[in-house]
Structure 1
Amino acid sequence: MRNVFVDGYNVINSWPELKKIKNYNLDSARQALIESLQNYAAFKGYKVFVVFDAHLVPGSIEKKERISENVMVVFTKEGATADSFIEKAVNNVGRKIEVCVVTSDSLEQQLAFQRGAIRMSSLEFYHEVKDAEQRIRVNTRKKYSEKRHALEDRIEREVLEKLEEIRRSR
Structure 2
Amino acid sequence: MKKIFVDGYNVISYWPELKNIKEYSFEAARQQLIEILSNYASYNGYKIFIVFDAHMVCGSIEKREKISDNIIVIFTKEGETADNFIEKEVNRIGRRSEVCVVTSDSLEQQIVFQRGAVRMSSIEFYHEIKAVELKIKNKIAKKYSQKRETLEDRIEQNILEKLEKIRRSK
Q: TM-score range by the shorter chain?
A: over 0.9
Matches within 5 A, 1:71-86: 71-86=71-86
Output the amino acid matched with 1:35.
E
Distance in 2 between residues matched to 1:8 and 1:164, nearest whole Å = 60
Q: Which amino acid aligns with 1:161?
A: E
- Counterparts of 1:1-170 in structure 2, within 5 Å, are 1-170=1-170
Q: Which runs of 5+ in 1 are unaligned?
A: none
Distance 1:42 1:114 in 2: 28
In 2, Cα distance between the equivalents of 1:92 and 1:156?
Answer: 66
Question: What displacement does 1:25 show?
Answer: 1.1
User: After TM superposition, where is structure 1 displaced by more than 4 Å over at least 4 residues in a row?
Assistant: none
**Offset, 1:50:** 0.2
Matches of 2:66 and 2:98 in 1, distance apart?
20
Aligned length: 170
- 1:29 alignment partner, SS class: helix
**Distance of 2:40 and 2:14 partners within structure 1:** 18
CA–CA distance in structure 1, aligned partners of residues 92 and 147 of structure 2: 46
More displaced stretch, 117-126 vs 160-169? 160-169
Deviating more after overlay: 150-159 vs 28-37 = 150-159
**Quick one: distance in 1 between partners of 2:169 and 2:121?**
65
CA deviation vs aligned residue, 1:135-165 (integer Å, no higher than 9, x gap): 1111111111111011222333222212211
SS of corresponding position for 1:24: coil
SS of residue matched to 1:73: strand
Gaps of 5+ in 2: none
**TM-score, length-normalised on structure 1?**
0.95
Match for 1:167: what amino acid? Answer: R
- 2:42 and 2:166 map into 1 onto residues whose CA distance is 49
What RMSD over aligned residues (CA atoms) do the two structures have, in Å?
1.1
How far off is 1:133 after superposition? 1.1
Q: In structure 1, what is the Cα distance between the partners aligned to 2:164 and 2:69?
A: 51
> What's the CA shift string for 1:61-108, capped at 9, x where partnerless?
111111122111000011111111111111122311111000011111
AA aligned opposite 1:153:
D
CA drift of 1:116 comes to 1.1
